[in-house]
Structure 1
């Protein structure tokens, strides 16, 4: 069982190459009795993907494209998502454990009440998304992701790490961020700095936070006034 580590944060990855595990091709993620296990699903172009009360266990989902996606009370265990484009994603009241989202487009997504435990987002686009009351029960890594104008609303990010991400106008509003690792990112355009108490940064990033704070406070520099 492999792991992905960024500094002090280590995520346990899905164990999909274990001896004796065979993934069968499936044509739907709905499954019988609300459970889909040991599966491969992909290269599908859907008008809508609606899943409720479904358990996805031990599988790979690749090249899935949906014009509208709604997931409610969906449990995900040991699943890899690769190259998926889930437009208008609304994901609520769910738990995601040992999962990887790689090269996925989740732009404008709305996530509400989703719990993450050992999850990696790698090279994903989550611009303009809103994550409300999401919780990191276990380690979560965002690596090389774009989160422009993404809003974390009342989120618990105490076990998360961001690395080499685009955080332009990313906003943190309330929630818990103690221990959130923001090293390795440009923080100069963050919003909601009051919510980032007790996060982890490098000393060199202090100036970036100062720049973000000056913007957030809409300060006026005296030398600019004197030059007029």
Structure 2
């Protein structure tokens, strides 16, 4: 019996009001279970924050730099990151629902073991980012650079990769059935033969999987 392929659905956009007032989060240390909601945080640096189960609800981050930030089990609902720098930020075990990253720098961004629902990455630099053991449903990654990122043992459902650089990205133990990589660019990616089954690629990309398929591609 053929495996039913998940339907690709565009991520639902964050539910935001037409206007949000500025939020002054200050420089104080966030405590565990801090809740920050209903506002905009603009043109500032958030640094040296380490807390557990912080929640952001209906928040827009605009040109915000996160420096030495670790928020384990952070919860983000109806949140936009616009032109932000989250490089090396740790959001392990996070829960993201209706979240957008637009024109963001995400080098080494750690979303290991996270749950992503209706999340979009658009025009982002996500090299070396970590999605190990993450659960992704209705997630769109487009016009971005995710070379050498890591999706080891991630679960995909309704996930799209469009016009994205994926060279040396790791998909070990992940199943790519129904995932369309034909508009993406890569010379090699890490994937198992079973994980590759049902993946959609261009004819010229098949050479990248030659050794995996046990064939020799003759030029």
TM over 0.5: yes
Alignment partner of 1:25: what SS? coil
Q: Deviation string for 1:134-191 (max 9, x for gaps)?
A: 101x300001110111121110122210000011111211033333232321344322
Structure 2 residue aligned with 1:174: 173
Q: How does 1:62-211 map to 2 (within 5 A)?
A: 62-136=62-136, 138-194=137-193, 195-199=195-199, 201=200, 205-208=202-205, 210-211=206-207
Q: TM-score, normalised by structure 2?
A: 0.83
Aligned-pair CA distance for 1:88:
1.7
Q: 1:34 to 1:222 in 2, by over 3 A?
A: closer
Distance 1:181 1:51, change over 3 A: farther
TM-score by length of 1: 0.80
- CA shift for structure 1 position 51: 3.6
The answer to which structure has the higher strand fraction is 1
> How many matched pairs?
210
Does the C-alpha gap of structure 1 residues 181 and 49 become closer, same or farther in structure 2, counting only changes over 3 Å? farther
**Which of structures 1 and 2 has the bigger CA Rg?**
1
User: 2:32–2:51: 8 Å Cα contact kept in structure 1?
Assistant: no
Q: Hey, what's the Cα distance between the residues in 2 that align with 1:222 and 1:37?
A: 58
By relative contact order (CA 8 Å, sep 6+), the higher-ranking structure is 2
CA-atom RMSD in angstroms = 2.7
Could you tell me which runs of 5 or more consecutive residues in structure 2 were left unpaired when the two chains were aligned.
1-6
Change (3 A) 1:221 1:122: closer
